[in-house]
């Protein structure tokens, strides 16, 4: 990570965590734009008909360009908010920023209501359904994009696997689930969404903790921008502030970003090599066991006695194979000895729940996104891409 102009995004912790509700103001704004476009389209159609009558070829209007930034930003005076003034003091006293510099940054911040709406929990609805969830990620577009990504970056994936012990298919699975191999890295200004969520997070049981998290990420973004000598407002990412192909939060870019292509820059947006190395480095730092070769999950059957129910839950491997077997968990293949495991459930709505036994490497993936569904999607997408490549 050295020149941040090419670097970008956040570990929000990823796919599948946020509801995609849109604020009423955003809907109104979009509807107004759609109506205006419709009116213009009608006029264009009439013009084309007239031109045709005169025997002249009507030239098709070019398709509208997608905007570089996605948000309905509102200019507010963040500098008047007491909590923001405290943040300014911290940046000056703790991090050595000039006050005028910090105040100039705060003056540019915009309030992003759509970010507030998107972090709200999904309303109660259908029960969890692993099969429906997985179909969003294990599908032809991602698989084909994954094959291309792997083919184009085979040397870097092999080098990361050798250096860190993380299989190429797991690295490819994460980047594919997160951004379809860099195709969708987010188009919100990171500073805006982080400031909005740091000081105006919606009401929720964990509101204070989440505000503190985003406040810290706002601080880390400014530190990162200073380190890389870039404009912090040049960073684009997700609605939660994640950046680049692997969707690292700014703090994780500083902690785990790797200059894997050796050009002196950690560039998570434009360098597949840096994204590959950084994902592997993150997993190693979060418990990936390079000695646990082979599958990270094993299909299992559970006994009717339900003695296994207390073993469900959690994000770590805590039980010996014998403990699982004693509680009525039977895997369809033998588990490697001398390792710990966890029991996970993948609910399928009205259909039977799937049960799997997972090792430490599966739970390392859940540190990227705290969801069994997410981690299993990574495993399955990576496997599908590998098989599609014929290996």
Indicate which residues carry an active-site annotation: 178
Q: Are 242 and 9 in contact (CB under 8 A)?
A: yes
Give Cβ neighbours of residue 290 (< 8 Å, ≥ 6 apart): 164, 165, 166, 284
And the tokens for 252? 């994780």
CA angle (242 as vertex; 105, 262 as ends), nearest 5: 95
Structure tokens at 152: 């184009």
Instruction: Give the strand pairing for 236-237 and 188-189.
Output: antiparallel
Please count the other Cβ atoms lying within 10 Å of the Cβ belonging to residue 178.
Answer: 30
CB 379 within 8 A of CB 362: yes
In 3D, which of 36, 54, 6 has the Cα closest to residue 261? Answer: 6
Provide the angle, in degrees to the nearest 10, between the axes of the packed helices 372-388 and 140-152: 60
């Amino acid at each position: 990570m050295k020149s941040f102009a090419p670097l970008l995004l956040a570990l929000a912790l990823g796919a599948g965590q946020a509801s995609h509700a849109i604020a009423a103001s955003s809907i109104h704004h979009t509807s107004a734009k759609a109506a205006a476009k419709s009116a213009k389209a009608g006029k264009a159609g009439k013009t084309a008909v007239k031109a045709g009558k005169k025997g002249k070829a009507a030239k098709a209007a070019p398709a509208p360009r997608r905007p570089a930034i996605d948000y309905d930003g509102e200019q507010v005076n963040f500098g008047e908010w007491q909590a923001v003034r405290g943040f300014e003091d911290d940046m000056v006293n703790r991090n050595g920023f000039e006050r005028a510099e910090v105040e100039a940054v705060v003056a540019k911040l915009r309030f992003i209501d759509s970010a507030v709406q998107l972090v709200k929990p999904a309303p109660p609805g259908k029960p969890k359904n692993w099969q429906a969830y997985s179909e969003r990620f294990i599908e032809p577009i991602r698989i084909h994009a994954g094959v291309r990504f792997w083919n184009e970056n085979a040397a870097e994936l092999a080098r990361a696997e050798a250096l860190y012990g993380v299989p190429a298919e797991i690295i490819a699975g994460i980047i594919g689930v997160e951004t379809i191999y860099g195709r969708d890295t987010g188009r919100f200004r990171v500073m805006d969404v982080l400031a909005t969520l740091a000081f105006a997070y919606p009401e929720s049981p964990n509101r204070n903790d989440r505000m503190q998290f985003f406040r810290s990420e706002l601080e880390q973004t400014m530190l990162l921008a200073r380190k890389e000598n870039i404009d912090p407002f040049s960073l684009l990412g997700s609605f939660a502030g994640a950046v680049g192909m692997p969707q690292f939060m700014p703090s994780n870019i500083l902690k785990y970003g790797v200059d894997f292509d050796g050009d002196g820059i950690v560039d998570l947006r434009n360098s597949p090599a840096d994204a590959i190395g950084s994902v592997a480095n993150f997993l190693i730092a979060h418990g990936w066991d390079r000695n646990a070769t082979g599958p990270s999950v094993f299909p299992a059957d559970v006994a009717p006695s339900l003695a296994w129910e207390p073993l469900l839950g959690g994000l770590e491997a805590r039980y010996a194979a014998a403990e699982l077997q004693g509680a009525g968990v039977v895997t369809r293949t033998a588990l490697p000895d001398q390792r710990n495991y966890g029991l996970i459930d993948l609910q399928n709505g009205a259909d039977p729940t799937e049960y799997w036994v997972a090792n430490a490497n599966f739970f390392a993936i859940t540190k990227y996104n705290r969801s069994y569904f997410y981690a299993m999607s990574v495993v399955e997408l990576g496997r599908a891409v590998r098989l599609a490549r014929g290996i």
